[in-house]
């Protein structure tokens, strides 16, 4: 695929324009015909027809762990790590006390679930959510503070509606971006075969 990438992109766009294709549904219906014509023009047979690909040795669970967003996090002296505005508290076992001051891997799966791993072993933990742990107490009316507190509460509610309180780092892939890619692949199954 890498060798014909430029050729394929140039031909695909031009051919779609010549065929008058202007929607994804039309493109999906026309694509098998294009692939057959393209392969007749540009395909080359391999010198050796024997399949030399190695068989997959990893299990599905191992592959799931490999294809995750992984962040190194340093364990504090009280066996906690922070990620995405949450504090993850490691179980206080003798084995886990060895992690103090060491970097351990925080894994975030595409479906949103998380895990903590060190040297191939998953570590049990509990979550302390800083945002959920806040309980708003009764607001005492004051001439000056009442309007300010109402404004702050309104801003906080707007942020919650927009889900702005979820991601701290912009360098991570956002779930919206992953959902968009999944939706595109559902619309165009050819993208799965290309990757």
Low-confidence ranges of the chain (pLDDT < 50): 1-2, 165-169, 195
> Which pLDDT belongs to residue 164?
54
Q: Are 98 and 118 in contact (CB under 8 A)?
A: no
Strands 86-90 and 80-83: antiparallel
DSSP 76-127: -TTSEEEETTEEEEEP--TTGGGGBTSEEEEEE-TTS-EEEEETTEEE-EEE
Check residue 189 and give left, alpha or beta (phi > 0: left; psi -120 to 50: alpha): alpha
The closest of 31, 32, 37, 1 to 16, measured between CA atoms, is 31
> Which pLDDT belongs to residue 6?
61
> Which pLDDT belongs to residue 60?
86
φ, ψ at 118 (rounded to 5°): -140, 120
Q: Vertex 51, ends 7 and 53: CA angle to 5°?
A: 85
The Cβ-side half-sphere exposure at 75, using a 13 Å CA radius, reads 23
> Which pLDDT belongs to residue 167?
47
Cα separation of 75 and 131, whole Å? 21
pTM, rounded to two decimals: 0.45
pLDDT per position as a tens digit, 47-70: 888 888 888 888 888 888 888 899
Cα separation of 34 and 40, whole Å? 10
Cα separation of 93 and 95, whole Å? 5
């Amino acid at each position: 695929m890498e060798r014909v990438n430029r050729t394929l992109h140039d031909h695909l766009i031009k051919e779609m324009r010549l065929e008058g294709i202007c929607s994804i549904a039309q493109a999906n219906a026309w694509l098998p015909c294009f692939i057959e014509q393209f392969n007749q023009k540009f395909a080359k047979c391999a010198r050796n027809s024997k399949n030399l690909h190695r068989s997959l040795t990893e299990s599905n669970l191992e592959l799931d762990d490999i294809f995750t967003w992984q962040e190194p996090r340093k364990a504090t002296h009280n066996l906690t790590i922070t990620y995405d505005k949450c504090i993850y508290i490691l179980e206080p076992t003798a084995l886990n006390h060895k992690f103090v001051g060491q970097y351990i891997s925080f894994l975030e799966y595409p479906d949103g679930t998380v895990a903590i791993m060190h040297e191939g072993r998953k570590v049990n933990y509990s979550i302390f959510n800083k945002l959920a742990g806040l309980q708003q107490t009764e607001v005492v009316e004051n001439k000056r503070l009442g309007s300010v507190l109402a404004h702050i509460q309104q801003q906080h509610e707007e942020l919650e509606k927009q889900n702005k309180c979820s991601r701290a780092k912009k360098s991570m892939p956002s779930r919206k971006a992953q959902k968009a890619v999944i939706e595109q692949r559902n619309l165009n199954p050819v993208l799965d075969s290309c990757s």
